[in-house]
Amino acid sequence: AILAAIVQRLSPGPLRGRHVIVTSGPTHEPIDPVRYIANRSSGAQGTAIGRALVAAGATVTFVTGPAVVPPPADTTLVRVETAQAMHDAVMAALPADAVVCAAAVADWRVANAGAQKMKKSVDGLPVLTFAENPDILAAVSRLGDGRPALVVGFAAETQDVTRLATQKRARKGCDWIVANDVSAGTCIMGGTENAVTLVTDAGAEDWPRMGKDAVAERLVARMVDVLTAVTP
Amino acid sequence: AILAAIVQRLSPGPLRGRHVIVTSGPTHEPIDPVRYIANRSSGAQGTAIGRALVAAGATVTFVTGPAVVPPPADTTLVRVETAQAMHDAVMAALPADAVVCAAAVADWRVANAGAQKMKKSVDGLPVLTFAENPDILAAVSRLGDGRPALVVGFAAETQDVTRLATQKRARKGCDWIVANDVSAGTCIMGGTENAVTLVTDAGAEDWPRMGKDAVAERLVARMVDVLTAVTP
């Protein structure tokens, strides 16, 4: 954290003095001490965004689930496992000028998670009940006075991407949605490339397929436009 | 596979000419295109056993789920994701002189896994139904004429380890159970050390806590005793 603060103070970029929180990676939701529910997010896109924000001079708090790729350097790093812990870490890291919710957060957790390992021979087939997890994107978007100037969400869809992402933007109350098609054939989830649609109040822009680093740089350039038009 | 065959033919070890199948790592059971059920197995113990078997001169087929640690060198490597695929790969790799089932195989899969991503906004809380996965250890143990001379299973328990492992040995029909306590406080699952109890027809032996490589070498030494007493 001290190093991050020094790096940030010395860096000349356009986001110098701005605090951005990035969430990244999957969350793991326990079923019992050895089993959990996960998702295929590698953390690659969130990590690339964190790196691009650091390069632009921002002070970055990087809240990550158990990702495959290593986290970006020179950030305040917070490692979490569950959606609830990620929510709490984001709230604790506020205030911020912007929040980028790139993590693939589990919508729900197992309400009847066991303290002991479930036994096939004793328990038979499991009956899992679920509870809704806190919605980090909606919670940040609906903050009153402390709402960040820019709240960016992600949407991983397998069909009808633009329509669903536009609905998601309205439902969550965020400013932008970065939407992508994670269908099996696209090789996006876990891969190095991304083909996204940016949904803002001005509508939907389809960006060409490019590396996740390039998506991150383009997104951060757009963030610079918005954030430098706002008095910090 | 060709390299593995050459290495095996040149190696002088006591298991030269013996074929051993090792399963390792977790399995992933899909919920929908992006979500899955996993477990905390890193594949470290199974990989160490594969390596020790290669060092002892065995021809090793290494069937691994999505593990954290890289697989051992000089084996016939089969990568799988689900328990069903692991079962099929083991059956396809038979006959074998011994099978070591070190993988943490999911007992059940999601019977109503979705072809599209589940949507919180549309589908609400999920209702997952489960189906029992094939039991690889029991299936191999109960083979008729083609049964391997030695079938070794693993038991990951969080309580009452020896009693449950002894019951498991009888229930599965395998020769040995290597049992360990994977309670959170032990740091065994995902860690580098292991403290196991070997359950055989002669009873239960508690081994002292040691590195997973040392557990593997000691286990393979015991396997050599049994397998070299059997005409191949």
When scoring B112, B120, B168, B188 by the number of chain A Cβ atoms within 10 A, the one with the most, hence best to mutate, is B120
Q: Give A147→chain B minimum CA distance, Å.
A: 24
Asked if B199 contacts B177 with a C-beta cutoff of 8 angstroms, the reply is yes
Using the Cβ of A36 and the Cβ atoms of chain B, whether some distance falls under 8 Å is answered with: yes
Distance set, CA A99 to CA A59, A62, A108, B56, B132 (Å): 12, 10, 22, 55, 42
Residue A137 to residue A155: CA distance in whole angstroms: 11
Q: Looking at residue A181, what is its pLDDT? A: 82
- ipTM value, please give it: 0.81
Of the candidates B38, B116, B126, the beta carbon closest to that of A130 is on: B126
Max distance between CA atoms of chain A, in angstroms, equals 63
Asked if B108 lies within 8 A of A120 by C-beta distance, the reply is: yes
CATH topology of domain B2-106+128-227: Rossmann fold (3.40.50)
Alpha-helix runs per DSSP H in chain B: 2-10, 44-55, 83-93, 120-123, 136-141, 161-172, 212-227
Residue B93 to residue B70: CA distance in whole angstroms: 21
Rg (CA), chain B: 18
Q: Residue A9 contacts by C-beta under 8 Å, 6 or more apart in sequence?
A: none
Q: Residue B225 contacts by C-beta under 8 Å, 6 or more apart in sequence?
A: none
B residues 141-180 closer than 8 Å to A (CB): 156-159, 164, 167-168, 171
Residue with tokens 């979490």: A80
Within 8 A of B39 by CB-CB distance, chain A residues are: 34-36
Distance set, CA B94 to CA A207, B8, B88, B148, B230 (Å): 50, 18, 10, 9, 18
Using the Cβ of B121 and the Cβ atoms of chain A, whether some distance falls under 8 Å is answered with: yes
Q: Does the bond joining A95 to the residue before it have cis omega, within 30 degrees of 0? A: yes
Three-class secondary structure of residue B108 per DSSP: strand
Using the Cβ of A39 and the Cβ atoms of chain B, whether some distance falls under 8 Å is answered with: yes
Give pLDDT < 70 ranges for chain B: 1-11, 184, 189-190, 230-232
Residue A89 to residue B34: CA distance in whole angstroms: 24
Q: Looking at residue A94, what is its pLDDT? A: 97
Residue A192 to residue A115: CA distance in whole angstroms: 37
Backbone torsions φ then ψ of B168, nearest 5 degrees: -65, -40
Using the Cβ of B136 and the Cβ atoms of chain A, whether some distance falls under 8 Å is answered with: no
Asked if A116 lies within 8 A of B158 by C-beta distance, the reply is: yes
Q: Does the bond joining B14 to the residue before it have cis omega, within 30 degrees of 0? A: no
Q: Looking at residue B189, what is its pLDDT? A: 67
Q: Looking at residue B2, what is its pLDDT? A: 66
**Structural domain boundaries of chain A?**
2-113+125-227
Residue A15 to residue A224: CA distance in whole angstroms: 7
The DSSP H or E segment spanning A59 is strand A59-64
Residue A196 to residue A17: CA distance in whole angstroms: 29
Q: Is A187 exposed, middle or buried (0-12, 13-18, 19+ CB in 10 A)?
A: exposed
Residue B191 to residue B63: CA distance in whole angstroms: 21
Tokens of B193: 């050390």
Q: Looking at residue A196, what is its pLDDT? A: 93
Residue B92 to residue A163: CA distance in whole angstroms: 46
The residues of B carrying an active-site annotation are: 39
Using the Cβ of A104 and the Cβ atoms of chain B, whether some distance falls under 8 Å is answered with: yes
Q: Looking at residue B196, what is its pLDDT? A: 93
Of the candidates B33, B125, B128, the beta carbon closest to that of A132 is on: B125
Closest C-alpha to B225, from B196, B202, B197: B202
Q: Give B126→chain A minimum CA distance, Å.
A: 7
Within 8 A of B35 by CB-CB distance, chain A residues are: 37-40, 106
The sign one gets for the Cα dihedral B111, B115, B116, B122 is: negative
Within 8 A of B130 by CB-CB distance, chain A residues are: 125-126
Tokens of B149: 């001379």
Write out the CATH class of domain A2-113+125-227.
alpha beta
Asked if B27 contacts A35 with a C-beta cutoff of 8 angstroms, the reply is no
Asked if B97 contacts B149 with a C-beta cutoff of 8 angstroms, the reply is yes
Bridge pairing between strands B19-24 and B98-101: parallel
Using the Cβ of A184 and the Cβ atoms of chain B, whether some distance falls under 8 Å is answered with: yes
> Which amino acid type is present at position B150?
L
| pLDDT digits (tens), chain A, 232 positions | 666 666 555 657 999 999 999 999 999 999 998 899 999 888 999 999 999 999 999 999 999 999 989 999 999 999 999 999 999 999 999 999 999 999 999 999 999 998 888 887 777 888 899 999 999 999 999 999 899 999 999 998 878 889 999 999 999 999 999 998 877 677 776 678 888 999 999 999 999 999 999 999 999 999 999 999 866 5
Q: Give A189→chain B minimum CA distance, Å.
A: 8
Tokens of A97: 């000028």
Distance set, CA B199 to CA B86, B119, B125, B170, B177 (Å): 24, 46, 42, 10, 5
